[in-house]
Amino acid sequence: MKFMLTLFFIVGSFFLQAQETTDTLKILCYNIRFGEKASLEELAKYIKSEDPDLVALQEVDCRTHRDRAPAQNGKDFMSELGYLTGLMPSYGKTIPYKGGYYGIGILSRFPSASIQRIYLPMTNGGKEQRALLMADVEIKEGKYITFASTHLDYINSDVRWAQVSKLNKVLKEASYPVIVAGDFNARPEYTEISEGMGEWKSLSNTDPTASAESPKYKIDYIFGYPVNAWKLIETKTPKIQLSDHLPIVTSVSLRIN
């Protein structure tokens, strides 16, 4: 009897461990500064070198004509980055700009079942409209997660708090486990991070991400929800000089509840 109980315990523990952690995903988050400091080919080469499954991009242009980035004039960033990386692109416009659009993007190794852009609150003191781009991606047959890219206001803490509150309301109602990545324009000690994202699992380290040449402040993040759905495997902040931000690269496991 004692032998049978021990065997049952071992087999049961193995079964639970096998069920607990399954899919491993590699996430990249990068504010690319509308291609001012690097060509799309250089950005794509870097993204490919990391071999990510999902990429959240901020400051993404589409058919703009900027004096500060003339080499990128007229280009559809997400279409070209999708082609150059072999990943599937999605784009979320936040504002019309310089004859085109400015916004956020997602690159995915997986097909998307749905893609939605949601405007975040624009209260008094904000600089410009910001948004949340979210996609329900099918990471394997019949199994989904919600992946989101965002970029919050860079001037006003009250505006960011309203935007984080909206982000929480939307993403916590998602049908699947969630990862949100982006430029939050807020340091870890700011209320919008310490409290606003307090119920999320941090999936990035504390290394500063801005500015790229002389990193002093962490303002870019990757978060997972619910907390018990995600296990952090590895995270890094590569010192690559293709933007005024540094990227974040994180590997995670998705737990089955």
**For the segment 131-190, what is each residue's pLDDT rounded down to a tens digit?**
999 999 999 999 999 999 999 999 999 999 999 999 999 999 999 999 999 999 999 999
**3-state secondary structure (DSSP) of residue 32:** coil
Residue 126 is given by DSSP the state: -
pLDDT of residue 73: 97
pLDDT for 1 beyond 70: no
pLDDT of residue 125: 83
- Reported as a pLDDT band with limits 50, 70 and 90, residue 256 is low
Q: Which residue reads 């929800």 in tokens?
A: 225
CA–CA gap between residue 95 and residue 227 (Å, rounded): 33
Domain annotation for the chain: domains and CATH numbers: 22-255 (3.60.10.10)
pLDDT of residue 17: 44
Q: Are 146 and 168 in contact (CB under 8 A)?
A: no
CA–CA gap between residue 159 and residue 119 (Å, rounded): 13
**For the segment 188-203, what is each residue's pLDDT rounded down to a tens digit?**
999 999 999 999 999 9
CA–CA gap between residue 129 and residue 136 (Å, rounded): 23
